[in-house]
Amino acid sequence: MAEKLIQRTFVMLKPDAVQRGIVGNIITRIENAGLKIVGMKQSWADSEFSKKHYSDHVQKPFYKGLEEFITSGPVIAMVVEGIMAVEIVRKMVGSTEPRKALPGTIRGDFAHHAYEYADKKGIAIKNLIHASDSEENAKKEISLWFKDDELHTYKTVHEMHVF
């Protein structure tokens, strides 16, 4: 069934995106691709919540800086729906290190941070956006960040041209 290819993915605009005032620019890219926003809120994660969201990274050397970064201000949490949305949004986001992220990607166009610089300063890579890396992780992250009644099913006016 073609409908099985329609996925939901979790997207978070990190504190640097909110504080730089480029949330609108980033969301526009998601809308321009014909993806549908089915949940969105502003939220300020604390240390405990950060450890849940980044449970795979808690033991890694960069986690301390990552937690400081992600809890440093409010984020925009979103659930985005579309055909193979997990893969599509990761493609739009680009590589983790903005220095290497290609032009045309969100991290490549709006940031230029590098591992070498971040590591020397003992801070996280400031790369604006998180997106789930698999359908399994998308499901976990969506249920961590959103209650069922915060997610919405509706039709966009241009849906007939996309689906």
**Candidate residues 45, 76, 77, 118; the one interacting with ligand CDP per rule CB under 6 A:** 118
Least separation in angstroms between CB 150 and ligand CDP: 23
Instruction: Extract the tokens encoding 145.
Output: 């960040």
- The span from the CA of 25 to the CA of 115, in Å, is 25
Q: Segment 128-147, which members bind Mg ion (CB under 5 A)?
A: 133
- The span from the CA of 15 to the CA of 69, in Å, is 7
Which x/- pattern over 63-102 shows residues binding ligand CDP (rule: CB under 6 A)? --xx-----------------------------x------
Q: Tell me if 130 contacts ligand CDP by CB under 6 A.
A: yes
- The span from the CA of 64 to the CA of 76, in Å, is 21
Q: Which does 127 bind (CB under 5 to 8 A by kind): ligand CDP, Mg ion, none?
A: ligand CDP
Count interface residues toward ligand CDP (CB under 6 A). Answer: 12
Residue of 113, 130, 158, 161 with catalytic role: 130
- The span from the CA of 160 to the CA of 127, in Å, is 34
SS3 content of the chain, % helix, strand, coil (to 5): 45, 15, 40
- The span from the CA of 28 to the CA of 81, in Å, is 15
Q: Is 9 helix (H, G, I), strand (E, B) or coil?
A: strand
- Looking at the Cβ atoms of 97 and 150, the one nearer to ligand CDP is 97
Which x/- pattern over 2-31 shows residues binding ligand CDP (rule: CB under 6 A)? ------------------------------
Q: Please identify every residue annotated as catalytic.
A: 130
